[in-house]
Amino acid sequence: MLDGFRRLRGSRPASVDEVDDHRYDEDEGLTTRHPSEHAAGLPAVVSALRHGVREMGVRRTVKTLRMINQDTGFDCMGCAWPDPAKRHHAEFCENGAKAVAEEATLLRAGPDLFAQYSVAELAAQSDFWLGKRGRLTHPLYLAPGATHYAPISWDGAFDLIAGELQALDSPDEAAFYTSGRTSNEAAFVYQAFVRALGTNNLPDCSNMCHESSGVALEQSIGIGKGSVSLEDIEAADLLIVVGQNPGTNHPRMLSSLEAAKGRGAKVVAVNPLREAGLTRFDNPQKVRGMVGAGTKLADLHLPIRVNGDLALFSAVNARLLERDAVDHEFLSASCDGLTAVRAAHADLDEAAVLAATGLSRAAIDELTELVVASERTVICWAMGLTQHRNSVATIREVVNLLLLRGMIGKPGAGLCPVRGHSNVQGDRSMGIYEKPPAAFLDRMQAALGYDLPREHGVDVVGAIRAMRDGKVKVFLGMGGNFLSAAPDTAATAAALGSCRLTVHVATKPNRSHVTPGRAALLLPTLGRTERDVQAGGEQVVTVEDSMSAVHASRGALPPASDELLSEVAIVCRLADRVVGDRGNVRWLELAADYDRIRDLIAEAIAGFEDFNARRDAGFVLPHPPRDSRSFATPNGRAQLTVNPLEVLHVPAGRLVLQTLRSHDQYNTTIYGLNDRYRGVKAGRRVVLVNAADLAAQGLRDGDTVDLVGEPDPDGTVRRAEHFRAIAYDTPLGCAAAYYPETNTLVPLDSVALESGTPTSKSVIVRLEPAS
């Protein structure tokens, strides 16, 4: 892939002017064409390198991209897909390269930017523009009543935070958010600090992401993590990819699917959209992928209606039971609940299934045949399954399928929730969780040597409600973009605005930073690409991928500014100021040498024994169902569950809107305005609608519309204005538009049962011609 650099020789390094050549205003130049059937290939290489060179220049691009995911380099922050044991020279993908370029950019958002623009002026800019200002360089303070952020010393910043925290009536009046890029070491000291303060208010991005998977898996198999390794993916003979767009969001997964196909595996895509990455993959690491026709990936695409998955998996399971195509030996040895499930599925309403899925009986039969013929089945899923009201039930039904077939804890088979943020799973392992189990806290408490709070804290939606109601007054975000990632943008902005103090530890400016509380702090931090030198020398951090493998990550670039502190240093210096040394914890010693943090982790968290000795080689955390078909549920058996068919009710004239990612964004960070595979160019305010739905509403392809939500009981109506309606291959009644522009339409109180995840993939809207 690095050969592609030759094409770009002569490109100039980045400058603000060059990046300003971009148009930040959407709509005007927007064009659309037929969606692509191919993912990756040469266009991906060129796009990745262009982006890198624009942000960092040629030399730095070569140097940086060479270190991604190598044994001695840093872990790519693009996604949580694992690294193969045998690495390529270029073990990354187009979108990983873009994620790295975003961080390693030479552009700087220094104090001059914040002197030039008031917070109100910054807030009027697009997310794209804000992110393209570059890396934050200095701690900044927005004083009560001030219009501009101004530089402040680190000590000054820590004093301000300490003052506000100490003035609270209860530690539960503060909330501490985490996004999923935070290293294990930073996450561990962060939760240790927050719990020393006396609260479990640790909402995280998981609450909006895979929480539904964690809850369903915990109930069914006793552990909230996936049960497969990379080898299992490649050894499977059937891979069902549900509600996931790997061509954009986990491109390296396509190499594993390609390897599995090479051994004769079948791939099924269950997705309302015909996503390019699932139809054909042109592997940029192989000559065939660069110039040939690539590999056809999906053998079967089921264009399911949005939120039809509970019905689909119930229907397949009903067929398996009816045909008795189940693993009796495994079921009787290891599972509970078969009788109840059998009874419930015998009564399944097939007409309701066909209506909910929008699929034909023949299509469901075809999937069932593939399942019955398979000896090694893996089911992968992501946000298409987790962000609906019935998500937990849906994922339990997915588990039912694999349990019925005995497809867990054997090679080439199992459950694969594909995580998003590169260390979101590790952060949870470290205790970033508002509802930690008692046993976890007991062991943590013994290791830390001080008492930990036991009362559950708030999750993301709970934190927004608590801020709105005046119960949380101080908000601290460890990375992320709480405002733009959370649902109901107006309600979330008002909630943050009502805080006494909002604090963000961040690498680059984003909308949360310009939606301040009465006062606000913006604390710049090192990214994963950068060298982290502390009193005890150069430091290494660790992360855990989507398949429970823990490994080290070392930055190599010089920090974006001399003023940056690492996340660990920020937490430890703040903790030293606010709670002081406690029990076995000496904050400043931990910050000086992260090995000392790992010593504590080794004592505090099961599976991390001998952490420092094993950190460089890496290790895989224990997973009882995967390792030994044992289940840490209350009765020690895997649970088959009855999940009554709940069908989303869509009133006449309305559509179900799913809010998803374009090919040119990382969550709320916008890399560019194109969505290459879906044929959208130079704009993001688009809504993809079935041509028949457009016609039924008297609209035409290309019309400009407003998206209007259903009124709340109090009459509040949420709107997102000025979207180009595009006729697109999506099931009848189902529309799609990009996040975060459409978060304003997701009602705060519309969350998944049991997991509390906002229902970002099933928003009821109508289209109104724009005025």
Ligand X SMILES: Nc1nc2c(c(=O)[nH]1)N[C@H]1C(S)=C(S)[C@@H](COP(=O)(O)OP(=O)(O)OC[C@H]3O[C@@H](n4cnc5c(=O)[nH]c(N)nc54)[C@H](O)[C@@H]3O)O[C@H]1N2
How do strand 549-553 and strand 686-689 relate by DSSP bridges? unpaired
Binder of residue 357, out of ligand X, Mo ion, none (CB less than 5 to 8 A by kind): none
Stated as kind and residue range, the H or E segment containing 696 is helix 691-696
**What span, in angstroms and rounded, lies between the C-alpha atoms of 523 and 114?**
13
How do strand 655-660 and strand 763-769 relate by DSSP bridges?
antiparallel
Helical spans, DSSP H, in 383-519: 383-386, 391-404, 424-429, 438-448, 460-468, 482-485, 489-497
> Residue 689 corresponds to which tokens in the numbers above?
């609608």
- Candidates 191, 377, 669, 755; binder of ligand X (CB under 6 A) is 669
At 161, give phi and psi (nearest 5°): -65, -45
- Taking alpha carbons only, the member of 158, 19, 184, 78 closest to residue 571 is 158
CA atoms of 740 and 488, how far apart (whole Å): 10
Taking the C-alpha atoms of residue 501 and residue 167, their distance in angstroms, rounded to an integer, is 12
Q: CB neighbours (10 Å) of residue 698?
A: 9
Residue 423 site contact among Mo ion, ligand X, none (CB < 5 to 8 Å, cut-off depends on kind): none
Per DSSP, the three-state class of 390 is coil
Which residue of the chain is nearest Mo ion when measured via CB? 420
Q: Assess whether the previous peptide bond of 251 is cis (omega < 30° from 0).
A: no
Q: Is 311 in the site for ligand X (CB under 6 A)?
A: no
- Residues in contact with Mo ion by CB under 5 A are 209, 420
Question: Are 509 and 136 contacting, i.e. CB atoms less than 8 angstroms apart?
Answer: yes
**Nearest-angstrom CA–CA distance, 398 and 393:** 9
Taking the complex as a whole, the smallest distance from the CB of residue 482 to ligand X amounts, in Å, to 6
Binding-site member from 195, 508, 551, 684 for ligand X (CB under 6 A)? 508
Q: Which of residues 391-420 bind ligand X (CB under 6 A)?
A: 420
Residues within window 700-739 making contact with ligand X, judged by CB under 6 A: 739
**Distance (Å, rounded) from C-alpha 563 to C-alpha 524?**
8
Minimum gap (Å) between residue 199 Cβ and ligand X? 20
Q: Any contact of residue 661 with ligand X (CB under 6 A)?
A: yes
668 binds ligand X (CB under 6 A): yes
Binding segment toward ligand X, per CB under 6 A, in 22-30, 440-448, 499-507, 717-725: 499-507
Which one of ligand X, Mo ion, none interacts with residue 731, CB within 5 to 8 A by kind? none
From the list ligand X, Mo ion, none, partner contacted by residue 739 (C-beta under 5 to 8 A by kind): ligand X
Using CB under 6 A, which of 139, 224, 272, 436 touches ligand X? Answer: 272
Contacting residue, 26, 185, 232, 309, with ligand X by CB under 6 A: 309
Count helices and strands (H / E) in the chain: 34, 33
Q: With CB cut-offs between 5 and 8 Å by kind, which of ligand X, Mo ion, none does residue 660 bind?
A: ligand X
In the bound complex, what is the minimum distance in angstroms from residue 179's beta carbon to ligand X? 3
- Nearest partner of 399 among 317, 301, 326, judged by Cα: 317
Q: In the window 198-257, what residues touch ligand X (CB under 6 A)? A: 205, 208-209, 242-245, 248-250
Contact residue for ligand X among 19, 48, 49, 79 (CB under 6 A): 79
Q: Which is nearer to ligand X, 16 or 333 (CB)?
A: 16
Q: Could you say whether residue 566 binds ligand X (CB under 6 A)?
A: no
Q: How far apart are CA 423 and CA 416, in angstroms?
A: 16
Q: Environment class of residue 323 by beta-carbon count within 10 Å: exposed (0-12), middle (13-18) or buried (19+)?
A: exposed
CB of 740 to ligand X, least distance (A): 6
Q: What is the DSSP string of 395-417?
A: HHHHHHHHHHTT-SSSTT-EEEE
Instruction: Give the interface segment with ligand X, choosing from 192-200, 438-446, 449-457, 653-661 (CB under 6 A).
Output: 653-661
Contacting residue, 67, 260, 306, 441, with ligand X by CB under 6 A: 306
Cβ closer to ligand X: 395 or 452?
395
Pick between residue 41 and residue 420 the one whose CB is nearest to Mo ion. 420
Shortest Å distance, C-beta 603 to ligand X: 26
Contact window for ligand X (CB under 6 A) among 6-14, 67-75, 341-349, 742-750: 742-750
Q: Compute the least distance from the CB of residue 332 to ligand X, in Å.
A: 32
- What 3-state class would DSSP assign to 67? helix
Which entry of ligand X, Mo ion, none binds 542, CB below 5 to 8 A by partner kind? none
Task: Candidates 192, 297, 382, 474: give the one binding ligand X (CB under 6 A).
Answer: 382
Report the site for ligand X in 8-47 (rule: CB under 6 A): none
Task: Tell the smallest beta-carbon distance from residue 587 to ligand X (Å).
Answer: 18
Non-local CB neighbours of 573 within 8 Å, separated by 6+ positions: 154, 158, 565, 587, 588, 591
Could you tell me the smallest distance in angstroms from the CB atom of residue 6 to ligand X? Answer: 25
Per residue, what are the HEC states of 623-634?
CHHHHHCCCCCC
| Terminal-to-terminal C-alpha distance of the chain | 48
Strands 140-142 and 150-151, bridge-based pairing: antiparallel
Q: Which stretch binds ligand X (CB under 6 A): 279-287, 347-355, 473-481, 488-496?
A: 473-481
Q: How far is CA 616 from the centre of its chain?
A: 26
Smallest separation, CB 546 to Mo ion (Å): 11
Q: Which residue has the tokens 């044991």?
A: 85
Q: Which does 213 bind (CB under 5 to 8 A by kind): ligand X, Mo ion, none?
A: none
Q: Which does 550 bind (CB under 5 to 8 A by kind): ligand X, Mo ion, none?
A: none
Q: What is the 3-state secondary structure (H, E, C) of 286-300?
A: CHHHHHCCCEECCCE
Q: Does 666 bind ligand X (CB under 6 A)?
A: yes
Q: What is the 3-state secondary structure (H, E, C) of 642-679?
A: CCCCCCCCCCCCCEEEEEECCCCEECCEECCCCEHHHC
Cβ neighbours for 764, distance < 8 A, ≥ 6 positions apart: 650, 651, 654, 655, 656, 657, 709, 710
Q: In the set 49, 506, 590, 592, which binds ligand X (CB under 6 A)?
A: 506
- Name the nearest CA neighbour of 338 among 101, 637, 69: 637
Query: Hunting for tokens 């374009």 — which residue is that?
Result: 662
Q: Which does 242 bind (CB under 5 to 8 A by kind): Mo ion, ligand X, none?
A: ligand X
Of 251 and 337, the one with the shorter C-beta distance to ligand X is 251
Reported as half-sphere exposure (CB side, CA atoms, 13 A), residue 186 has a value of 30
185 lies in the binding site for ligand X (CB under 6 A): no
Contact 424, 210 (CB under 8 A): yes
Whole-number minimum distance, CB 549 to ligand X, in Å? 17
In terms of CB distance, is 67 or 235 closer to ligand X?
67
Give which of 670, 5, 757 is closest to 383, Cα–Cα: 757
* Nearest alpha-carbon partner for 432 in 187, 171, 175, 602: 187
* DSSP per-residue letters across 8-21: HTTPPPP-HHHHHT
Which residues from 100-129 bind ligand X, rule CB under 6 A? none
List the single partner that 508 binds among ligand X, Mo ion, none, CB under 5 to 8 Å by kind.
Answer: ligand X
Minimum Å gap between C-beta 518 and ligand X is 22
Q: What amino acid occupies position 658?
A: Q
- Give the span between the Cα atoms of 706 and 283, in whole angstroms: 39
What is the pattern of x (binds ligand X, CB under 6 A) and - over residues 518-557? -------x-xx-----------------------------
760 binds ligand X (CB under 6 A): yes
Q: Decide which of ligand X, Mo ion, none touches 272; Cβ closer than 5 to 8 Å per partner kind.
A: ligand X
Least separation, in Å, of the C-beta of 212 and ligand X?
11
To the nearest whole angstrom, how small is the minimum distance from the Cβ of residue 177 to Mo ion? 14
Asked if residue 746 binds ligand X (CB under 6 A), the reply is yes
Q: How far is the CB of 421 from Mo ion (least distance, A)?
A: 6
Q: By Cβ distance, which residue is nearest to ligand X?
A: 420
Sites of contact with ligand X (CB under 6 A): 78-79, 95, 179-181, 205, 208-209, 242-245, 248-250, 270-273, 275, 304, 306-307, 309, 382-384, 420-421, 478-482, 485, 505-508, 510, 525, 527-528, 567, 658-661, 665-669, 739, 742-743, 746, 760-761
